[in-house]
Amino acid sequence: MDLIAMSMTRLTADNTSEFLKRFNTFYDGIVRSLQLDFANDPAGVMTVKIEVRDNQRDFNDGWVSVVSLQIKKIKESCIRSPGESYLSLDDGLHLSWHDEVAWIEVGWLVDPPQNLEELRTSYVYAVASHIWWRAEPHNIRQ
């Protein structure tokens, strides 16, 4: 495990529901960065940073936290431009587990994908077995 993952929490099928509830399924979140890196892992590591409301924070009515997701052991992924802004997660983040593998879809599909073919229609998705996360308060300049 690398140093970044050590300061993060592992996302599993057992805690995904609680995670999504804490961040209101990421509805109206803003993707601040999205990166796919193959430098240290041939399977790639997708890192996504999302500005979102955190239901466990009181400051500023929960706005704004930055949730960093580190997606590892990627079996399939896609990051492509939809030709318009997909940075606003109007329909939330879709995340589900299927036989120890997570399907994560970042803000393009309106409804959760029902199968892999539907997931593949998204502009940003990953199929992976390891997801780590961390929430930090956003530094809002006054």
pLDDT for position 6: 55
Are residues 131 and 102 in contact, defined by beta-carbon separation less than 8 angstroms?
A: yes
- What integer is the mean pLDDT of 50-61? 78
- What integer is the mean pLDDT of 40-50? 87
pLDDT band at 108 (very low <50, low <70, confident <90, very high): confident
pLDDT at 53 over 90: no
Query: If you write DSSP's letter for every residue of the chain in order, what string do you get?
Result: --HHHHTSEEE-TTTHHHHHHHTGGGTTEEEEEEEEE-SS-TT-EEEEEEEE--TT--GGGG--EEEEEEEEEEEEEEE---SS---EETT-EEEEEETTEEEEEES--SS--SSHHHHTTSSEEEEEEEEEEEEEE-----
pLDDT for position 3: 41
Q: What is the pLDDT of residues 57-101, one digit of tens each?
A: 766 665 668 899 999 999 999 888 766 555 788 899 999 999 899
pLDDT at 103 over 50: yes
pLDDT for position 118: 95
Q: What is the pLDDT of residues 4-41, one digit of tens each?
A: 455 899 999 999 999 999 999 999 898 888 888 888 88
pTM of the model: 0.84
